Amino acid sequence: MRCILLNPGPVSLSDAVRKAAISNDLCHREPEYFELQDELRQALLDVYGCDHERWAAVLLGGSGTTALEAMLTSLAPRKARLLVVENGVYGERISRIAEIHGIAHEKVQHGWQDPIDYERLEAALASGTFSHLAAVHHETTTGRLNDASKLAGLCEAHGVHLLLDTVSSFGAEDMPFDSPALAGCAVTANKCLHGIPGLCFVVARRDALAKGVEPPRSLYLHLPLWLEKQDKQGTPFTPPVNSLLALREALRELERHGGWRGRRARYAKLARQVRDGLSGFDVQPLLEEDASSCVLTAYRIPEGSDYVAIHDGLKRWGFVIYAGQGGLEKEMFRISTMGDITDYDIGRLLAAIETVFKR
């Protein structure tokens, strides 16, 4: 029985992506590797139609947090003052990265289930204190989709650069790449793009990279170094070659499936089917439907049940769901519809839901 991952990454892979990951042995100093690297860097910008002269996709080995830390430490200059939006685990992670690297910052804090208070945020930006704003686009703590276009608009109005964590949204949600305020996005290959773990990247404005931090805060995470080498068909360190091979096939699949718009529509359709199936057993979503990303929905654990029972019951059918985090661990569970999930898989999931929740 095929195991279907309903957690927010890594995802269930297509057979073609899985095979591509082990299709060839490539040395990262050979021309064939650099042709692959060039192809991927261009294809990643093409996902959202980014101008190749103004934007760069900088590839790194590591998880989405690697890309996030590289973006923050590279694009926030020594004199930068960062404002961080927190309404979940991943916003708080941004603050922790800033703290570790000594980046001057303040927080606009919210409860984990709360939407961003844009009036409070604008008041902070209007103070003129901050050079950069950092926020999470899709806060997977609860599945909330923060309004990236509104964040970009506020940054434009107050002359602030926007650094966006799009780890769980790039490839399936709209992005404000047309905003001059957006300086960079942190992304991973193994979520909405349907690649394998081990590869991440930052899509950043070339002028933001040119004005980044000096001297570097890190050797490995310093994006200008990676950019310089990759622009000249090089690489400063050993890259995750197999992850690049897999991502090439995954991006071809994304294009065949209608690009990010097609992927968003597919995720939303599957999420709606799951939501409708659970509602029949009085399992309620944590957030209103229009507040959630198409990628993931959080559900309240119904009275008389617990996460372990729900998780183990669904896993017996071949489905892996995700627990709540922190104080929400006993209150909710999460289901993502990312990855290579077929209509047949969803039919089986609905049957599994009926078995697990009808007791």
pLDDT digits (tens, 9 = 90+) for 194-240: 999 999 999 999 999 999 899 999 999 999 999 999 999 999 999 99
Contacts of 263 (CB under 8 A, 6+ apart): 171, 172, 192, 254, 257
pLDDT of residue 359: 64
Closest CA to 134 of 262, 60, 124, 144: 124
CATH of the domain at 273: 3.90.1150.10
Residues 70, 197, single domain; the answer is yes
- Bridge pairing between strands 322-323 and 332-336: antiparallel
Both 39 and 53 in one domain: the answer is yes
What are the backbone angles phi and psi of residue 122, rounded to the nearest 5°? Answer: -65, -35
Cα separation, 313 vs 311, whole angstroms:
6
Question: pTM higher than 0.95 for the full model?
Answer: yes
Whether residue 136 sits in one domain with residue 80? yes
Residues 270 and 250 placed together within one structural domain of the fold: no
pLDDT tier at 1 (50, 70, 90 boundaries)? confident
Residues 134 and 263 in one domain: no
| Domain co-membership, 126 together with 230 | yes
**Claim to verify: residue 264 and residue 187 sit in the same structural domain:** no
Query: Mean pLDDT across the chain, nearest whole number?
Result: 97
CATH classification at residue 125: 3.40.640.10
- Of 231, 255, 279, the one marking the end of a domain is 255
Same domain, 159 and 114: yes
Q: By C-alpha distance, which of 186, 143, 174 is closest to 7?
A: 143
Tell which of 255, 283, 312 closes a domain.
Answer: 255
Return d(Cα 202, Cα 238) in angstroms, integer. 17
Helix 31-46 to helix 241-256 angle (10° resolution) is 40
Strand stretches in 137-198, DSSP E = 138-139, 144-145, 161-165, 182-188
Distance of CA 31 to the CA centre of its chain: 30
Selection from 101, 158, 114 nearest residue 133 by Cα? 158
**How do residues 49-78 score in pLDDT, each as one tens digit?**
999 999 999 999 999 999 999 999 999 999
Q: What digits encode the pLDDT tens for the residues 144-201?
A: 999 999 999 999 999 999 999 999 999 999 999 999 999 999 999 999 999 999 999 9
Q: Which of 222, 255, 288 is the last residue of a domain?
A: 255
Whole-number pLDDT of residue 358? 84
Question: Quick one: 201 and 301 in the same domain?
Answer: no
Q: How far is CA 84 from CA 35, 140, 297, in A?
A: 38, 17, 24
What backbone torsions phi and psi does residue 82 show, to the nearest 5 degrees? -100, 135
* pLDDT at residue 80 tops 80: yes
Summarize the confidence of residues 99-103 as an average pLDDT.
98
Can you tell me which residue has the tokens 């686009």?
137
Paired residues of 285 in beta bridges? 299
Which residues constitute the domain of residue 263?
Answer: 4-8+258-357
Are both 230 and 269 inside the same structural domain? no
Which residue matches tokens 């080995």? 61
Residue 352 to residue 97: CA distance in whole angstroms: 40
pLDDT in tens, 116-133: 999 999 999 999 999 999
Do 205 and 58 fall into the same domain?
yes
Domain match, 162 and 282 both = no
